[in-house]
A and B are shown apart, each in its own frame.
Chain A
């Protein structure tokens, strides 16, 4: 029986006025609830509407490539993002590449660190160490990204420049280092939770078969917690794609198509952040930026949805053990 359906029995005996009051209060809360949901729905509708203008305007293929006429009259297919030139080109390929070149290394680095920290917290640390370490790591997750961006350009970028002499001081690599710092806490806390949820009996069985601690961790605990760990990695990846300030400050913001991780790149988020301030309203550049916004919105929404579905499935499986 649904608990919320239970009404106060006293209500039946109440006067009409009181019943009316209860109903109007319910209506007031309902109004607020629908307003909140409406606002959140409005974001999506509004973004789609603005972005669809550019598709009607120039077609979706313009976001992949455009044709450039060379001096001899020959046409070549180019993948360029030059929205402000006389012959504006809106290819998203360099921006998507930029996003992937910062987000993928960041996810790989932080998966390594995050899972290791998760294993430490769940399996190795004593409960007292865990009580102290967990809040510290969570606190670190709350540090504003602009601080990380600042730290990267003030300290880390110069350090690596002096060490290796990169062509660009600000490049995809240092940006991905900054991104990892904010993703590690996410992956660490989710993997820790997933591993702690693994029933004790599984570990007992493994020990009784003569397995060592590390064998138990790597062959029993981690595989059974795999769905939670992968949810953490997916969430971290989504966060890396959507992060703005670190990549805006630390990638160097050159919208060039490159696969060299030590060169300057430009991500989708940084493009919106850098260009939205100057763009004129209702130009095709304005709509193109909204199109990038829609791409970001849908990508991260799907990634988050996958992560929460995986987590939901994990909780169901856990109930099976109990």
Chain B
């Protein structure tokens, strides 16, 4: 017997006429439920897109809100979101990536690191409002007021401000960054490290020149997802310096002789896109009049998040290809 299909499992699907009626109903029922869910999703996004795209324009993105928030744009909210996220990344990425390098490259696979990774993983699921509580109690009321006492600055640090909001968001996204970086480092095969050692590289040289470059797209995926998470969060920044309306951008000037250099002042309050949506939707003086603005602001936030997530998907795809290539060569 020389059957070519001998070692191949043949998928013996029952013939169409063998199906019982109930089977047909159930399978199509599942199809129907999935379709229904997709329709609901389409409806949510479509409604926001149709209602929001009407008043979306360049001036809407750059202008200040005017006339008691019923007209004008969302310029300061976008500015505040970007600056807070940049500060957050500056704080969270170095600590998070270095911590992941330590956990994966130096600490080794011990019970202790497994416990740490498990709790870090679980911290990513702790409600964001709890992080907000922590930010208020620890950063503002504890560290901020201590700083004011020591530096004799009156009430500068001990109040809600951009600095503390981004610090809180940094703590919030730290688990995401640590977990994704550890995953990225883990997927670089050990043979790569062994080859580097064999060439006489030290541990640090191996990490710097071999492991990190290969893991880079994976690490970037995690960072982009962290930015997207930070941009979408509202609850933790609710009482950390988000403002309903600010007449000026949070910019301070440093005078240096003839020049004055504009700098972002992290001790000021700020406007935040997601908080702006919340405020417009719940505490607006005239909710009907601001409806187009509400939809447009929501659309801007959704576009921002979707763009970030798509970038992350592309990076992840790139990363998988790199790793597959390495695996193909080394195995």
Query: Which residues does chain B contribute within 8 Å of A136, judged by CB atoms?
Result: 38, 41
Evaluate contact between B125 and A235: CB separation under 8 angstroms.
yes
Task: Show the binding face of A for B, using Cβ within 8 Å.
Answer: 2-11, 14, 18, 21-22, 25-26, 28-30, 32-33, 35-37, 39-40, 42-43, 46-47, 50, 112-113, 116-117, 119-121, 124, 133, 135-136, 138-140, 142-151, 153-155, 181, 184, 200, 204, 207-208, 210, 212-215, 218, 235, 238-239, 241-245, 248-249, 269, 272-273, 276-277, 281, 289-290, 293, 296-297, 300-301, 303-305, 308
Docked complex Cα distance between A173 and B203 (Å): 57
Chain A residue nearest to B239 (CB atoms) is: A277
Query: Which residues does chain A contribute within 8 Å of B119, judged by CB atoms?
Result: 40
Contact of B129 among A181, A200, A207, A269 (CB under 8 A): A269
Write the nearest CB–CB distance from A272 to chain B, whole angstroms.
5
Query: Which residues does chain B contribute within 8 Å of A133, judged by CB atoms?
Result: 34, 38
Query: Which residues does chain B contribute within 8 Å of A3, judged by CB atoms?
Result: 108-109, 190, 193
Query: Which residues does chain A contribute within 8 Å of B6, judged by CB atoms?
Result: none
B234 on interface, CB distance cutoff 8 Å: yes
Chain A residue nearest to B44 (CB atoms) is: A151
Q: Can you give 12 A-B contacts (C-beta < 8 A)?
A: A7-B197, A32-B98, A36-B95, A37-B99, A136-B38, A143-B305, A150-B298, A153-B281, A207-B14, A245-B235, A293-B134, A301-B123
Q: Mark B118-136, 1 if CB is under 8 A from A, else 0.
A: 1111110111111111101
Write the nearest CB–CB distance from B155 to chain A, whole angstroms.
13
Q: Mark B215-255, 1 if CB is under 8 A from A, else 0.
A: 00000000000001001111100110000000000000000
B214 on interface, CB distance cutoff 8 Å: no
Q: Which of B269-309 contact A (CB under 8 A)?
A: 274-275, 277-278, 281-282, 291, 294-295, 298, 301-302, 305-306, 309
User: Which of A30, A143, A303 gathers most chain B CB within 10 Å?
Assistant: A143
Query: Which residues does chain A contribute within 8 Å of B47, judged by CB atoms?
Result: 151, 155
Query: Which residues does chain B contribute within 8 Å of A10, judged by CB atoms?
Result: 197, 200-202
Write the nearest CB–CB distance from A95 to chain B, whole angstroms.
13
Chain A residue nearest to B29 (CB atoms) is: A116
- Contact of A154 with B103 at beta-carbon distance under 8 Å, contacts A32-B94, A145-B234, A297-B126 already known: no
- Contact of A154 with B116 at beta-carbon distance under 8 Å, contacts A32-B94, A304-B125 already known: no
Docked complex Cα distance between A124 and B28 (Å): 9
Which of B17-25, B68-76, B260-268 interfaces with chain A? B17-25
User: Which of B33, B98, B102, B104 gathers most chain A CB within 10 Å?
Assistant: B102
Docked complex Cα distance between A59 and B277 (Å): 39
| Further pairs besides A4-B106, A147-B298, A296-B126: 6, Cβ < 8 Å | A3-B109, A7-B203, A29-B105, A36-B96, A42-B134, A300-B127
Which of B57-65, B146-154, B170-178, B320-328 interfaces with chain A? B170-178
Write the nearest CB–CB distance from A141 to chain B, whole angstroms.
9
B48 on interface, CB distance cutoff 8 Å: yes
Size of the chain B interface, CB-CB below 8 angstroms: 99
Write the nearest CB–CB distance from B104 to chain A, whole angstroms.
8
- Contact of A281 with B141 at beta-carbon distance under 8 Å, contacts A143-B232, A273-B238 already known: yes
B30 on interface, CB distance cutoff 8 Å: yes
Chain A residue nearest to B197 (CB atoms) is: A8
Query: Which residues does chain A contribute within 8 Å of B127, judged by CB atoms?
Result: 241-244, 269, 296-297, 300
Docked complex Cα distance between A10 and B178 (Å): 30
- Contact of A272 with B13 at beta-carbon distance under 8 Å, contacts A35-B95, A37-B99, A47-B134 already known: no
